[in-house]
Chains A and B, each alone.
Chain A
């Protein structure tokens, strides 16, 4: 029997030596004349165990990890001894608590299958959703999404079905589906994992969206910082097209849908949906004033649905398992599951998909295992560079759009970055303002100028100049940014700044000026 090994090709695994591990194992097996196949999968998202190598056995897969290139050959020996003992042997991957406790709807296949094997994808339930969808009329498809309670996973939490219905009802011959895969938030990598590990899922979700709203073309806009994701998506699109899963007649339905990748060029603000549209059109990535909504006047002036990767990849499951089944997960108005990303200074960092409602403390302390450095957790930033910093005192906050908003925070794209007690929160607040000033598209004044003034005023506070008055000025400036900015970049930059000031006031005592970098 051919030996089947699984070594991730996910960028996170490549960054810690997965290619070298695969190459060493392949060379050793070749030399010994052992028939083998090394399947390059995505990552299961247990990053502290990457590179995680798995072997197929009659009793299921057995995992080893983290397998550094220098450990590759000794692990291979153990694998050849009937997947036998080794200090890095993890047993069945599904039994690892971090994975076992998850509810993987969207990430069920990621890290398991060959990302570019349509046969693997279909054997694992892929394209079942689209098969059901093509038998339905557009309005019934939209009704299904409405019933599921799915809300936009990019951060705003807008009901997906309403967005689809608006675009479907809008007048216009051409309509577009745009996937926002411009995953710029630090602490997030779920979009990247899917594009590298289960690209057909995104294609299927976008195709369903296209058929539902009557859009014949979709664009996936992602980041130039994601070269592996771009290559995998392009290869998957070509494979889907060759099989009639994209093109003029999707699954013989008589309806067509075509897909194209577009790559950004290092501008964070292009993750804002209207800036993203301008970028696809070949312009500076500047934010548009709303209204008009993109669903009515979007890409090239046509009705356009813009959804995040995580929104679109929830769609196939909703069609294959039913809107009611999806709705059963979650809490309050946050239905279904959220792929949460645990990052930064955390012992067990990775992708944790679970129903809404889990507490922040459970995520950080229990599932994440606290900090990687072993020091106490001092702050966690939830929702990327525009998200609030939470102290452990707020760890009872449930992961839910409304619960985070009630505590002056946001869940954003589901990234959680953990910091230990060595963090300087004044420095983090300053970084937030500086980042905003560098990445501002320049269209609105509060963001363009307010961020720069904010850095200056904060430096004055830390230098001991009129501390009380200058802190009041920063708070006032944050109000202006929050209510006067055109988009979330200026509008949400106050979250990290104000949360640092509110919860970590002791870090804002005067001292010598922070280095300007």
Chain B
């Protein structure tokens, strides 16, 4: 996997901040997923240090927590690039040329799925349906949605995020 560089020192591990986030979820029933989402939102990924902290706070084994973190595609164990491009790879987008767009994106960025460009600018991820199936092919770039993509529109998105 290509390397990614920390983009922001604000994302560095902070045990007190993590403890506060975890404590804020302690009163919930089934707190683990909401706490993991909150930790990833704060730190850009789920740092390894968070696993024992979660296990201790929620009375779980570290294996339990690791099992959950590794089960779900959303949770990262390292930082993503400065921009995250998620291209839909599911059937409705395949029907409208999504595969060709995906190949174009990988070629232009020179990376595979789940990888980050060497300069840390862009992470490319597959997504299986954004619910924009009547405006396909679709993508999400840093949380913003894009539909009815074609080669030119994809190039414009990539131009925004690559130097």
Contacts and interface: CB of A to CB of B under 8 A. Distances in A.
A12 B33 contact: no
A491 B128 CA distance: 20
B7 interface: no
Contact of B37 (A188, A224, A283, A415): A224
A23 interface: no
A187 B135 contact: no
A300 B74 CA distance: 24
Residue among A15, A227, A381 with most chain B CB within 10 A: A15
A268 B128 contact: yes
A435 interface: yes
A345 interface: yes
A378 B9 CA distance: 53
Contacts of A264: 33, 72, 74
B85 to A, nearest CB: 14
B110 interface: no
B133 A186 contact: yes
Interface stretch (A70-78, A318-326, A336-344, A391-399): A336-344
Contact of A262 (B34, B68, B138): B34
Interface string A325-357: 000000000000000011111100110000000
A224 to B, nearest CB: 5
Interface in B114-163: 127-136, 138, 140, 143, 145-148
B146 A15 contact: yes
Interface string A496-517: 0000000000000000000001
Contacts of A47: 134-135
B32 interface: yes
Interface stretch (A99-107, A161-169, A249-257, A417-425): A417-425
Interface residues of A, number: 59
A385 B68 contact: no
B37 to A, nearest CB: 6
Contact of B91 (A48, A225, A381): A381
B27 interface: no
Nearest to B90: A186
B5 interface: no
B75 interface: yes
Contacts of B74: 224, 264-266
B95 A225 contact: no
Interface stretch (A124-132, A200-208, A274-282): A274-282
Residue among A186, A224, A268, A349 with most chain B CB within 10 A: A186
Given A12-B147, A183-B129, A417-B91, 6 more contacts: A186-B128, A224-B37, A224-B74, A267-B71, A268-B128, A281-B29
Interface of B: 29-34, 36-37, 58, 64, 67-68, 71-75, 88, 90-96, 113, 127-136, 138, 140, 143, 145-148
Interface of A: 11-12, 14-16, 47-48, 50, 183-189, 191-192, 224-227, 262-268, 279-285, 300, 341-346, 349-350, 372, 381, 385, 415, 417-420, 423, 428, 431, 435, 439, 441, 517
Complex A-B, nearest 7 residue pairs according to Cβ-Cβ distance, in ascending order = A349-B134, A282-B32, A15-B147, A186-B90, A265-B72, A343-B133, A266-B73
27 contacts: A11-B131, A14-B145, A15-B132, A183-B131, A184-B128, A186-B92, A186-B133, A188-B133, A189-B134, A191-B131, A225-B130, A264-B33, A265-B33, A265-B73, A267-B71, A282-B32, A282-B33, A284-B71, A300-B30, A343-B133, A343-B136, A372-B96, A385-B90, A417-B91, A418-B95, A431-B91, A439-B128
